[in-house]
Amino acid sequence: MLNIKVVLASVREGRLGEKPAAWILEKAKARKEFAVELVDLKDYSLPVFNEPQVPAMISGNYPNEAAKQWAAKIGEADGFIFVTPEYNHGYPSSLKNAIDYIYGEWVNKPVAFVSYGADGGVRAVEQLKQVVNSNLQMHPVPAVVSMARPWDYLNEQGVLDTTHFEKAGDTMLDQLAWLGEALKAARK
Ligand SMILES: Cc1cc2nc3c(=O)[nH]c(=O)nc-3n(C[C@H](O)[C@H](O)[C@H](O)COP(=O)(O)O)c2cc1C
């Protein structure tokens, strides 16, 4: 089984992000290859990163308690699904801050993306692919679920109609499983 964390990037009051996160969480849980957990950045309240040392240079000995808890949770994972909105044609600062806090816990693991926004959040994902794949040596899953104007797919009860996204979600999870198994074996 691959331990997969669904990372909910928006920490905003009234965020829409809970809906796509809940959808992909349940969809991933239904797969026999995965043990899945939601990791909500709101639960970690990481301060803006201002540590004196570079996380990549301290071999996991993070001095700050919030970072220790964050590192322990991310360290459990064999892979990730980042659920991210697009803010000003990029991804939210909450997610960058959480990425920057730690280092080795990310390395050599796959990351898939569910994005949303007026144009599907595709610019946020393109930026993220560069960030995760360079210094962090993570492996982006090629297939992305991009939800364009998801607010148009909410019914009167506020439930998100995910019909249009199921096929893309299946493909993304197939690729996450394949890459996740390959990288887990390689890490050993
Ligand atoms: C600071 C900010 C900047 C935004 N910039 C963009 C943008 O560049 N492109 C876009 O498609 N939507 C943009 N939006 C709209 C968001 O896609 C929309 O509000 C979405 O619901 C945000 O996700 P959240 O509710 O989970 O935080 C922006 C929203 C905020 C709060």
Mean pLDDT of the chain: 97
In whole angstroms, give the CA distance from residue 162 to residue 154: 9
Mean pLDDT calculated for residue range 176-186: 98
42 lines ligand 1 (CB under 6 A): no
In ligand 1, the atom with minimum distance to the C-alpha of 150 is 21
49 lines ligand 1 (CB under 6 A): no
Quick check: 81 and 176 in contact, CB under 8 A? Answer: yes
Q: What is the pTM of this model?
A: 0.98
Vertex 63 angle, CA 61 and 68, to 5°: 70
- Centre of ligand 1 to C-alpha 91, Å, is 9
Domain that holds residue 161: 2-187
- Residue closest by Cα to atom 15 of ligand 1: 117
Question: pLDDT tens across 23-60, in order?
Answer: 999 999 999 999 999 999 999 989 999 999 999 999 99
Residue type (1 letter), 53: Q
- CA quadruple 177, 114, 46, 60: dihedral sign: positive
Count of domains for the chain: 1
**The CATH number of the domain where 72 resides is what?**
3.40.50.360
- pLDDT of res. 45: 84
In ligand 1, the atom with minimum distance to the C-alpha of 90 is 8
